Structure 1
Amino acid sequence: MSNVYCAVYQEELCGYMAGYAAVKLGYKNLGFLGGMAVPAVVRYGYGFVQGVDAAAADLGLTDVSLNYVYGGQFFGDADITAVMDTWYAGGTEVVFACGGGIYTSAVDAAKKANAKVIGVDVDQAGVIAGYAGVEGMTVTSAMKGLYPTTYDTLTDVIVNGNWDAYKGKIATLGLVSGDDPELNYVQIPMGEGTQWSDSFTQDDYKAMVKDMFDGKITVSNDVSKAPSDFATVIAVEDQGAIKG
């Protein structure tokens, strides 16, 4: 372990961004479909709940609801798709599918319902469009900066010869800029991967990131809590796990 460098992420921050954006973009009935309830997935989910709640509070909404469940695995199947079918049939407009290939179940159900999804880890708009055969299904994605992490670290280690600054360490990566969101290690897509509108513009997003960077917005990463613990004005229905 003394010769290993590990980078982990503040997933709760980009989860918050995605949830905040979704409500600002007009969605009131949302869902979170996690893979397995490992800390990273839980942080994504709890950040999402906090972002949804904050946007609802900012807009003075009291009719925003959020279904919350873990699939119990990192791939979609007929059982998970059936639950997503039930959600969408019950009025859910967009589901944040967070956990490897589990997005396929959310997408399969959303396609039948002409509904939306939110991607994870990278800008999944293209991946989801390719899988679904439908453009424009992805509202946004909660992204880890996998590319800048790899590029920046390897540049510093190999080109600059700074391996000693990394080896044996675990780094928690998050915001490094309050002015340029694309420099951060957690973000949502600035381009077409987010369905920007007059109700939530790129400038609105930049202002939110600046407030997060400056500490005016704080996001909890306490995975010991329940999803509903983060709700102040929204209704959260915690459905546990589909499997396991």
Structure 2
Amino acid sequence: MKNFRRIISVLCAAAMLLSLCACAKREKYDAVFITDVGDIYDRSYNSAVWDGVRSYAADYGVNCKYYRPSQRGAKYFFKAIKKAINHGAKAIVCHGDEFCDAVIKAAERWDDVKFIIIDCEEKNLPSNVLAVGYSTLDAGYLAGYASVSNGFQRLGFQGSNPSDDYVNYCFGFIQGAERAAEDLMLEVMSVEIKVNFLKTDENEDDVEARAKSWFSTGTQAIFACGTKTFATVASVAERNVGSWVIGADTDKSYVSDSVLTSAEKSVSMSIYRALAEVKDGSFKGGRSVTYGIADDGVRLDLQRSLFSLFTQSDYDAIIERVKADPSMVSSLVTADDAKNIVLGDDQELSSIFSLNHVLIFTN
């Protein structure tokens, strides 16, 4: 009887061991997203990246997971990456320039793992790292074109700082407005765009005061770039009937009924595309790619926009025109020149554009 009990005990222990092994196998993940320290469902970058990872995993029948670092910093990001690799990750996705150091260090240590990083400005990348960026110039162009096509001729742009992304949003916005005014055959210099980037001694109180002033003097919509800047302008627009705000980077329609549209980066799509390339063996690292209108890398989502005149067919038409002739959107100047110009006066800013319909005012 004792021997029988021993045999049963051994068999139970073996069964438990096999079960643990099976669980360990199930915990291996093909694709892993390392979030920032925010919530995965932040309705911003974390959500957008995770949607892309999950869609890829569902379509290709593989496992995926996300890890949230305990705190910010390259040390903690690297720990999260190491944990993902220990669980069998073949591809790791991260977002933001703050991840660059940790990703490069990990890529050099585990050269058989592929890394995809969004919005990383590092130029010298290991061969297993792909940096994905987006043409905010193109995204801004669509926002400007749609705004004027919707009947708005008094516009504004507020940026929290003159970063490359925000400057290009602004430059694209101006060019898109000019093109729409030309297509509509509006009168010469009939569209006004007020432009402002926060100075180092300014804060969100200045953003609020400026938005109030602009709306009270006829500005119909303000393109606001920067998390706090957007939230402030949206709040002001809510309190001013007939005033609108335009968001940047990701969908902002959930924030307020005053959100006209969002100039979005197609983050989910680009993550899906990169992971699919890892899966089919066509992945090429050691480089940066920038997706724009031509690659469906930026967009306006008309279903979540509140245009009254600008239609889906209008949107589809301008997309096809730009794809056929990418020179319609021009970078015009270098990023360093642009930063100097946008912090100058309106004559300097106007001088770099060949404008017939748009007047620019810096404030």
Aligned partner of 1:232 in structure 2 is 356
1:195 pairs, out of 285, 303, 306, with 306
1:49 pairs, out of 165, 174, 192, with 174
* 2:241 equivalent to 1:121: no
**Alpha-carbon distance between aligned partners in 1 of 2:267 and 2:259, rounded to the nearest angstrom:** 20
Aligned partner of 2:286 in structure 1 is 168
**Alpha-carbon distance between aligned partners in 1 of 2:326 and 2:288, rounded to the nearest angstrom:** 26
**Alpha-carbon distance between aligned partners in 1 of 2:267 and 2:216, rounded to the nearest angstrom:** 35
Give runs of aligned pairs for residues 175-186 of structure 1, distance below 5 A: 175-176=293-294, 184-186=296-298
Q: Kindly provide the CA deviation profile for residues 37-92 of structure 1, in whole angstroms up to 9, marking residues without a partner as x.
A: 1111111100000111111122222321110011247x972221111111111111
- Report the structure number with the largest CA radius of gyration: 2
**Alpha-carbon distance between aligned partners in 2 of 1:46 and 1:206, rounded to the nearest angstrom:** 22
Aligned partner of 1:206 in structure 2 is 316
Give the % identical residues.
30
**Alpha-carbon distance between aligned partners in 1 of 2:161 and 2:316, rounded to the nearest angstrom:** 31
Cα distance, 1:59–1:76 mapped onto 2, change above 3 Å: farther
Q: CA deviation at 1:19?
A: 0.6
Q: Which runs of no fewer than 5 residues in structure 2 stay unpaired?
A: 1-124, 342-348
Give the CA RMSD over aligned residues: 2.1
Does the CA contact (< 8 Å) of 1:211 and 1:217 recur in 2? Answer: no
Q: Which moved more, 1:137-146 or 1:56-65?
A: 56-65
SS of alignment partner, residue 97 of structure 1: strand
SS of alignment partner, residue 113 of structure 1: coil
Higher helix share: 2
Cα distance, 1:175–1:64 mapped onto 2, change above 3 Å: closer
SS of alignment partner, residue 260 of structure 2: strand
**Alpha-carbon distance between aligned partners in 1 of 2:293 and 2:210, rounded to the nearest angstrom:** 35
**Alpha-carbon distance between aligned partners in 2 of 1:69 and 1:95, rounded to the nearest angstrom:** 11
Does the CA contact (< 8 Å) of 1:34 and 1:99 recur in 2? Answer: yes
**Alpha-carbon distance between aligned partners in 2 of 1:117 and 1:54, rounded to the nearest angstrom:** 21
Aligned partner of 1:83 in structure 2 is 210
Q: Which runs of no fewer than 5 residues in structure 1 stay unpaired?
A: 130-134, 178-183, 240-244
SS of alignment partner, residue 224 of structure 2: strand
Q: CA deviation at 1:219?
A: 0.7
Q: CA deviation at 1:4?
A: 2.9
**Alpha-carbon distance between aligned partners in 1 of 2:326 and 2:206, rounded to the nearest angstrom:** 41
> Number of paired residues?
220
Quick one: which amino acid aligns to residue 213 of structure 1? K
Aligned partner of 1:141 in structure 2 is 262
What TM-score, normalized to structure 2? 0.57
Aligned partner of 1:7 in structure 2 is 132
**Alpha-carbon distance between aligned partners in 2 of 1:39 and 1:217, rounded to the nearest angstrom:** 20
Quick one: which amino acid aligns to residue 231 of structure 2? T
Does the CA contact (< 8 Å) of 2:139 and 2:293 recur in 1? Answer: no
Does the CA contact (< 8 Å) of 1:16 and 1:47 recur in 2? Answer: yes
